[in-house]
Chains A and B, each alone.
Chain A
Amino acid sequence: MQTPAEFELSRRGMLVGGAASVAAVTIPPVTAAPTRPATPPPATAKVAFEVNGTARELEVDTRTSLLDALREQLHLTGTKKGCDHGQCGACTVIVDGRRINSCLTLAVMHEGDKIVTIEGLGTPDKMHPMQDAFVVHDGYQCGYCTPGQICSAVAVLDEIKAGIPSHVTADLNAAPKVTATELRERMSGNICRCGAYSNIIDAISDVAGVKA
């Protein structure tokens, strides 16, 4: 078995496990981060945008993602942080009519934008038809990916209407149709680890008025 007791850069420039003759040997220490000069105070900037129809003005640390601005500053916590790296879709919001991952965009880049979050689609007393369909079809379990799924689903139906092709669109030069296959492909940027996919497609199909 290869052991990592001793490391060296081989002539190929790769790290290899060398022969281990003792149980524990001292190696050149691994440093977690290089030494840097002292950090300057954080830069801040002002940004104004509209969230769910309400004008908002914020002063943010420039590093603040749109997701964290929504959750931590505006306390609109319906938008979820699942991965913070664009790998799960839980943070999906609709900006100027398009769905995006709010974790991979800076709040300061949204000057003047119109942002719709799950809270803007509907409330428990007045649910959006897509929210209602998710309840009827049990299109969720733990509920954490759900706001992102619903924002995505609403946008997906608009994208199909707008004629945007997908990976499974058979004819690039024809208008795409609302089919289960199209919905599955287009919804694939929203991961649900509880595995409610089959029900989510039923819910979206229901709203679109097609059979899943």
Chain B
Amino acid sequence: MKSFTYERADTVAAATAAFARAKDARFIAGGTNLLDLMKLEIETPAHLIDVSRLALDRIDATPEGGLRIGAMVRNTDLASDTRVRRDYGLLSRALVAGASGQLRNKATTAGNLLQRTRCPYFYDTNQPCNKRKPGTGCAAIGGFHRLHAVIGASDACIATHPSDMAVAMRALDASVETVDAAGKARVIPIADFYRAPGTTPHLETVLAPGELITAVTLPKPVGGTHIYHKVRDRASYAFALISVGVVVQKDGTGRVALGGVGYKPWRVSAADAELPRGAKAVTAALLDGAKPGHENAYKLPLVERTLAGVLAQAKG
């Protein structure tokens, strides 16, 4: 870990101003991914701005009937909130499917969205990785890729996004609120939040340097049955092979998002429309254009079968 200077920010304005002042700065909140990566010198900030004590730890009702979740709300608290459990069960379910109790007690809403991939080649600094070190190549392509993306990947990177929470947020049409270094706020629909790897897999989100997530908002509840099915080799404390999050209404319509298949939580509006027709049709629409390798080709039938199980469960 490279040496860094440290400061604690008391306000959002102070945090963004500190970023503007410093060289190679990063915000740190829960730290559960950033410190992991700093120990391996995959992340090498020269200055850390501790935003964990910002007053962004509340979950408030919005005038539109939704929820505004502060960026610093811990995963445990978000999953436990009675409104979330009642109206956004998918989100609660996705959160408790992730990581461990200890990690969920630290990990924040904003940090969860910003998790970096768990590709083992990204984590091994001896190996080529375009995401870690642009231009070095992708060792996962042609290497161990059982866990990797089957859709939306590029010749430069086949990493997946590891978040469970983000899958629920995507299905629930969440928006990300930010403030940039100049104090300017904006709202980014989560559908537009992640960048496709293309030739620049090191650029993962649309956030500008120094732009700080302040909240994630959920529109008003949509009702329906909420199910999150995370498929993994061991029963807990593992990243998803794939995951399926659905909200299904009584008439069979609804929405569906996938985890573990691409660089972002995967949702396709055409696939939502196919929900009444069943898992096969939905999967075909969702994974249209998928290009799996020989080790991860199983993810396609797995998505379809998991979805079929989930839809059967939704029917009761």
Contacts and interface: CB of A to CB of B under 8 A. Distances in A.
Contacts of A117: none
16 contacts: A13-B130, A14-B139, A85-B36, A86-B32, A99-B105, A101-B106, A105-B31, A105-B32, A109-B50, A152-B102, A162-B80, A164-B76, A165-B85, A167-B93, A167-B236, A189-B237
B101 A111 contact: no
Nearest to A42: B3
B35 A106 contact: yes
Interface string A114-143: 000000000000000000000000000000
Contacts of A89: 100, 102
A127 B282 CA distance: 56
B55 to A, nearest CB: 16
Nearest to A8: B137
A9 B8 contact: no
B156 A13 contact: yes
A33 B40 CA distance: 11
A79 to B, nearest CB: 12
Given A105-B32, A167-B97, 16 more contacts: A14-B138, A14-B155, A16-B142, A30-B126, A33-B125, A41-B3, A65-B35, A85-B39, A86-B32, A100-B106, A101-B100, A101-B106, A109-B31, A166-B101, A188-B237, A190-B100
Closest 6 CB pairs of A and B: A189-B100, A188-B236, A14-B141, A12-B155, A172-B85, A42-B3
A109 B102 contact: no
Contact of A62 (B6, B52, B105, B237): B6
Nearest to A97: B105
A62 to B, nearest CB: 4
Contact of B101 (A84, A86, A99, A105): A99
B48 interface: yes
A108 B79 contact: no
Contacts of A172: 85-86, 89, 92-93
A106 B6 contact: yes
B13 interface: no
A63 B155 contact: no
Interface of B: 1-6, 8, 28, 31-32, 35-36, 38-39, 41, 48, 50, 52, 76, 79-80, 82, 85-86, 89, 92-93, 96-97, 99-103, 105-106, 125-126, 128, 130, 137-139, 141-143, 155-156, 235-237
A183 to B, nearest CB: 11
A203 interface: no
A45 B6 contact: yes
Interface residues of A, number: 55
A109 to B, nearest CB: 6
B1 to A, nearest CB: 5
A43 interface: yes
A106 B38 CA distance: 11
Contacts of B138: 13-15
Given A14-B138, A167-B236, A100 B102 contact: yes
A86 B1 CA distance: 16
A146 interface: no
A186 interface: yes
Contacts of A152: 101-102
Contacts of B235: 185, 188
Q: Which of B31, B32, B100, B138 has the most CB of A within 10 A?
A: B100
Interface in A158-198: 159, 162-167, 169, 172-173, 184-186, 188-191
